[in-house]
């Protein structure tokens, strides 16, 4: 499965298709996929080489925006840009899996089951800045609010969003992420309870 337009197997989120290339299972509850800075209803505009996060929910083929909840974004400690550039040459999508390597050397691999998702983030060994990531329960393709609770190696919370095609519908989505390393430093950016940034010990270069 490629991500470029023009092929029978593409899923790039552009044009009228509004699909997404990320990881999901048939009828699964998780659609873990990249979101580009340039907006498309599916979350992914092929012509944009900037990713601003990997959110947990997407809808394919819709003519209105919705979902894009709870984006996770791997980064190096101290990076405040909120995005990373990439080349499609360093990107691959297959059924149930998605992977990309940013220009800064951070690799992201996503997969999904019926009820959960698994990610592996790999950080460049040549950079001595600690591995870090952010999560934001207050971000979605429509207006959203939420809360992120930070544990020693967990990020949990909920987000409230909705408004598909300007309707009045609302939903609450709960999430719970467990990491294979404890956090070395944690913060709620700007004091916002709906967002979190965490970093790991400097010798940690792979996080699942």
CATH code, domain carrying 126: 2.70.98.10
Q: Please classify residue 191 by burial: count the beta carbons closer than 10 Å to its beta carbon, then call 0-12 exposed, 13-18 middle and 19+ buried.
A: exposed
The mean pLDDT value of the chain amounts to 92
Q: What is the pLDDT of residues 13-27, one digit of tens each?
A: 444 567 899 999 999
Phi, psi of 44 (to 5 degrees): -135, 115
pTM of the model: 0.91
How far apart are alpha carbons 202 and 126 in whole angstroms?
12
What is the rounded radius of gyration, in angstroms, for the C-alpha atoms of the chain? 16
Contact 49, 4 (CB under 8 A): no
Contact 64, 79 (CB under 8 A): no
Q: Considering the domain boundaries, does residue 11 fall inside one?
A: no
The helix/strand/coil state of 112 is strand
Q: Considering the domain boundaries, does residue 203 fall inside one?
A: yes
Q: Considering the domain boundaries, does residue 8 fall inside one?
A: no
How far apart are alpha carbons 164 and 193 in whole angstroms?
25
Q: Considering the domain boundaries, does residue 6 fall inside one?
A: no
Between 170 and 9, residue with greater pLDDT: 170
Q: What is the pLDDT of residues 126-168, one digit of tens each?
A: 999 999 999 999 999 989 999 999 999 999 999 999 988 888 8
Residue with tokens 């601003």: 52
- Looking at the structure of the chain, the number of domains it has is 1
29-43, 101-115, 148-162: which range is least confident on average? 29-43
Which DSSP letter does residue 190 get? Answer: G
Q: Considering the domain boundaries, does residue 17 fall inside one?
A: no
């Amino acid at each position: 499965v490629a991500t470029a337009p023009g092929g029978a197997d593409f899923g790039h989120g552009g044009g009228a298709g509004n699909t997404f290339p990320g990881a999901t299972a048939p009828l699964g509850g998780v659609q873990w996929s990249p979101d580009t800075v340039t907006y498309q209803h599916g979350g992914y505009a092929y012509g944009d080489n900037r990713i601003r996060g990997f959110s947990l929910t997407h809808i394919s083929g819709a003519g209105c925006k919705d979902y894009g909840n709870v984006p996770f974004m791997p980064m190096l400690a101290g990076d405040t840009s909120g995005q990373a550039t990439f080349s499609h040459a360093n990107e691959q999508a297959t059924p149930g899996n998605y992977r990309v390597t940013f220009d800064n050397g951070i690799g992201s691999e996503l997969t999904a089951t019926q009820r959960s998702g698994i990610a592996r983030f790999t950080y460049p060994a040549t950079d001595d800045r600690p591995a870090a990531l952010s999560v934001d329960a207050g971000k979605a393709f429509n207006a959203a609010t939420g809360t992120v609770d930070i544990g020693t190696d967990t990020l949990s919370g909920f987000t409230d969003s909705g408004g598909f095609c300007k309707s009045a519908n609302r939903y609450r989505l709960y999430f719970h992420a467990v990491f294979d390393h404890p956090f070395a430093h944690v913060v709620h950016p700007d004091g916002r309870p709906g967002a979190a940034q965490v970093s790991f010990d400097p010798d940690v270069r792979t996080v699942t």
